[in-house]
Amino acid sequence: LYYNFILGLTFRKLVSTSCSLEFSPPRVVVRFGDSLSANCTSSSDQTEGIGWESPYGGVDLTLGVSSLLFKIDSVPEWDTGPMCYMNSCDGDQCVKVLPVTVYKMPDSVSLKNLRTVEEGQQFAIQCDIVNVAPARNLSVLWHKGKKILSSQTFDESSPSPVSKSSVLTLTAHRDDDGAEIWCEAKLNLWPQEQGPPPVRSEAFSFFVFGSKISLNCTARGNPVPSYHWQFPNFTQVWYRSHDVNLPILTPSSKFPGVYTCTASNSQGTVTKYFIITEAPRKFLAVH
Ligand SMILES: *[C@@H]1O[C@H](CO)[C@@H](O)[C@H](O)[C@H]1NC(C)=O
Ligand SMILES: *[C@@H]1O[C@H](CO)[C@@H](O)[C@H](O)[C@H]1NC(C)=O
């Protein structure tokens, strides 16, 4: 523990049970690299002086004050808040650590690793959240249209950035036709609607065979983009002989699965995903 070196400043009796120090704000949520400031105030009439200490600098013991400000321009650590100490006239010392949560929004949130199970009626989709902190305060929400299908949290002790994945298994329903599915990563560190906005993945469009469907991947761009389609493995043989360098594809109802379209030109590439599923079979109840 880094406290050892400050307690070496003064050899005093450490009293933490009756520590009269208060912080303003009482706790801090700060983005890694942003500035941090907090006030430490002692309500004891025995206060001789107050100081701050941290592995990244402090404020010297200041005599004759009842409150002292700590300020740094850039938070350089993930796991330690600064601590405030108060020396009292009777020779005691009390210390209190400012509760600090250092966060980082993810570098990216994306969908991948689609697997088709049970003959195209069920899908497993993976959402990858890259470099987020602290992951114990992360929720991943799966959206389908206006509905939230599920949410996941993580049991993670590391305060520094980690990557996490969430897998959604989904059964297709006829009602899903045209729906979009995406995941969203959100840090639960603020009261509702405060803090940075959640980070969303791209959306998958969902189609259920019934009538004839066409997948529209048309992208605007200058120069005019070129298109490339990838099909579920078992359809590739069928399509190999077709010209599919087109923005709109009309797949055959024999081939459910995930269709991936990339539109690219010299300026970049965009990817669009389409999930095609067979309409669930209707069963007749026989008594
Ligand atoms: C710190 O607290 C003292 C005493 O309440 C107050 O006078 C001072 O303005 C505060 N400073 C900041 C930056 O909040
Ligand atoms: C972050 O998550 C932990 C563990 O779930 C929780 O105890 C803590 O209060 C959360 N932090 C904030 C600032 O809400």
Q: Give me 182's structure tokens.
A: 């995406």
Q: Which of 136, 139, 155 to mutate to test the pocket of ligand 2 (most atoms within 8 A of CB)?
A: 136
State whether 40 and 22 are in the same domain.
Answer: yes
Report how far ligand 1's centroid is from the alpha carbon of 39 (Å): 6
- Residue 286, pLDDT > 70, answer no
Residue 119: its pLDDT value, please? 57
Question: What CA–CA distances, in Å, run from 192 to 153, 189, 195?
Answer: 17, 9, 8
Residues with CB under 6 A from ligand 1: 24, 39, 41, 67, 69
Number of compact structural domains in the chain:
3
E runs forming strands in 32-121: 36-42, 47-53, 59-63, 67-72, 83-88, 92-97, 100-103, 108-117
Q: Please check whether residue 70 lies inside any domain of the structure.
A: yes
**90 against 8, higher pLDDT:** 90
- Determine the pLDDT at residue 68: 97
- Whole-number Å distance, alpha carbon 65 to ligand 2 midpoint, is 33
- Kindly report the average pLDDT of the chain as a whole number: 82
Q: Which residue in 91, 85, 83, 105 sits closest to 12, CA to CA? A: 91
Shared domain check, 244 and 194 = no
- Is 235 strand, coil or helix? helix
Closest residue by CA, ligand 2 atom 6: 137
Higher-pLDDT residue of 86, 235: 86
**Which one-letter amino acid corresponds to residue 55?**
P
CA of 189 to the centre of ligand 2 (A): 7
pLDDT at 116: 62
Confidence at residue 21, expressed as pLDDT on a 0 to 100 scale: 94
Considering the domain boundaries, does residue 286 fall inside one?
no
Q: Which long-range contacts (CB under 8 A, 24 or more apart) does 238-244 make?
A: none
pLDDT for 245 equals: 78
284 assigned to some structural domain: no
Q: Which domain holds residue 29?
A: 2-103
| Ligand 2 pocket, residue 153 CB under 6 Å | no
Q: Are 10 and 83 within one domain?
A: yes
**The pLDDT value given to residue 167:** 93
Cβ atoms 168, 140 nearer than 8 A: no
Q: 34 lies in a domain? A: yes
* Helix, strand, coil content of the chain in percent (nearest 5): 5, 50, 45
CA-nearest residue, atom 12 of ligand 1: 39
Last residue of a domain, one of 177, 206, 235: 206
263 phi/psi in degrees, rounded to 5: -110, 130
Q: Are 98 and 6 part of one and the same domain?
A: yes
pLDDT digits (tens, 9 = 90+) for 26-85: 999 999 999 999 999 999 988 999 999 998 889 999 999 999 999 999 999 998 789 999
Question: What pLDDT shows up at residue 269?
Answer: 82
* Residue 239 scores a pLDDT above 70: no
Quote the pLDDT of residue 266.
Answer: 87
**More reliable by pLDDT, 161 or 181:** 161
pLDDT given at position 229: 84
Residues 99 and 113 in one domain: no
Closest CA to 18 of 93, 98, 83: 93
Q: What is the pLDDT of residues 134-168, one digit of tens each?
A: 999 999 999 998 899 999 999 999 999 999 999 99
For residue 72, the model assigns a pLDDT of 94
Percentage, residues of the chain above pLDDT 70: 78
| Whole-number pLDDT of residue 184 | 96
**Residue 5 pLDDT:** 42
Task: Judge if 24 and 92 occupy the same domain.
Answer: yes
